[in-house]
Amino acid sequence: MTADRRPGLRSESVRQANLTSILRDLHLGGAASRSELVARTGLTRSSVGALVGELVQAGLAVEERAISDGSPGRPSPVITADTVGNVVVALEVAVDFIAGALVGLGGTVLATRRVDRHRDRGSVDETVRDLVDLTRQLERMHDRPVEPIGVGVAVVGLVRRSENVVAIAPNLGWRDVPLGDLLVDALAYGAPITLANDADLAALAETRRGVAIGIDDVVFVSGEVGVGGGIVSGGRSIIGRAGFAGEVGHMSVNPDGHRCRCGSRGCWETEVGEGSLLRRADRPADAGRAGVEAVLADAAAGDAGALRALAEEARWLAVGLGGLVNVFNPQMVVFGGFFGRLYPFIIDNVRDELRQRALDVTASELLIVPSALGLDGPLVGAAELAFEHLLADPLGAMLAHHRDLPA
């Protein structure tokens, strides 16, 4: 009935929560001895023993006697997530490319592939067909049959999470596309398929495997054709009611600014998106990443026009960031997409302007860093999304997995 209420716990759900705790630790923290798991999870030694036993039996963990490091005493066994036996498929639908990866439990990337495509290849049917082709190629790149335990898909658009529907993807020209269901049929796996926005997943990825590991309050902003955002607050992704949160590109920062393709005017992305930077540097607005690189080369050579364009970019970045920083009080802002490339050229200007735009107490403790995962962020996040149901209920998910395998 109310926000903070949570249902009571039965002993079954306690066991499940504890299995989750250990499996999540192995998945994200890597190999560990039993003693390390005791220290890291706060569970008793005997509980850890029993729970590890269950995970090993379920095929989720492997326990191996470690090679002695020469110190006295018996070497203690090392437990790792069973990477090889537990694989997910991560897919990404971007404007100019599609991409995919096979990722094992523990985060090991087993195969990866990216295919550029023209924007006019963006029809739904073609995209689904291309994604299936790409997935089959990934399967062939792997040395054993692939029966994924989950599929995660990053999409450059707004995703209605409960329905796995792309509600709107302006840069693809999509509206109300049931991409989840289409992929269930086309891929013909038994595994659950989950969709999310690409920037939301890139933000998640940075907190799990990137530059923001262990940081609970993160604002991720990504410069692409548009501007995407993903926010983690108090250790949790901000999703919103339907899954549409994080559309930072459509904050109004300039009421008399350019018309935005969303229908509004002066949205942040009309001031700091790729096209604006290129226009300010007197280049064609559709020159893309190559155009951005050319502007940076000019700036490095001291070209006044390029430097001015970057200074304007920094100013408008700080105007929008100031609002986000005041609203979220993050510990870290991560620059993704081409903002990550711009970082060394603009960070001093951004910091200066931000000192004026954000409240002192908030800005003075703020870290601003470039993304660690770069272009791989959405795909890494999609893999994490695909593992989520397994981590939430390890034994339940494995039972469903084996039941749904083709006989």
CB 286 within 8 A of CB 297: no
Contact 268, 249 (CB under 8 A): yes
Q: Report DSSP state, residue 258.
A: P
Q: For residues 261-290, which are near a copy of itself according to CB under 8 A?
A: 262-265
50 touches a copy of itself by CB under 8 A: no
> Interface with a copy of itself by CB under 8 A: which range of 105-113, 145-153, 184-192, 320-328?
320-328
Q: How far is the CB of 335 from a copy of itself (least distance, A)?
A: 17
Q: Which residues partner with 168 through β-bridges?
A: 158, 175
Q: Binding to a copy of itself by residue 44, rule CB under 8 A? A: yes
Nearest to 79 by CA among 57, 97, 102: 57
Query: Least Å distance between CB 357 and a copy of itself?
Result: 5
- Taking the CB of residue 54, how many other CB atoms lie within 10 A of it? 17
The verdict on 240 binding a copy of itself (CB under 8 A) reads yes
Confirm or reject binding of residue 395 to a copy of itself (CB under 8 A).
no
> Which of 94, 111, 272, 319 forms a contact with a copy of itself (CB under 8 A)?
319
Count Cβ atoms within 10 A of the Cβ of residue 220 and give its class: 0-12 exposed, 13-18 middle, 19 or more buried: buried
Comparing C-alpha atoms, which of 58, 33, 34 is closest to residue 46?
A: 34
Binds a copy of itself (CB under 8 A): choice among 301, 304, 361, 407: 361
The single residue among 233, 294, 311, 351 that binds a copy of itself, judged by CB under 8 A, is 233
φ and ψ at 8, to 5 degrees? Answer: -65, 160
In the region spanning residues 151 to 170, those forming contacts with a copy of itself, defined by CB under 8 A, are: 158, 160, 167-168
215 binds a copy of itself (CB under 8 A): yes
Phi first, then psi, for residue 277 (nearest 5°) are -60, -45
Which 363-382 positions form the footprint of a copy of itself (CB under 8 A)? 365
Of the two residues 287 and 350, which places its CB atom closer to a copy of itself in the complex? 350
Site for a copy of itself in 61-100 (CB under 8 A): none
Q: Tell me which of 83, 112, 171, 362 binds a copy of itself, using CB under 8 A.
A: 362
Among 331, 369, 370, 395, binds a copy of itself (CB under 8 A): 331
* Count of residues making up the chain: 407
Question: What angle is formed at CA 168 by the lines to CA 257 and CA 266, rounded to 5 degrees?
Answer: 5
Please report where in the chains the tokens 């067909």 appear, as a residue.
Answer: 129
The residue from 250, 258, 279, 351 that contacts a copy of itself (CB under 8 A) is 250
Contact call for residue 324 and a copy of itself (CB under 8 A): yes
Question: Residues 159, 178: contact at Cβ < 8 Å?
Answer: no
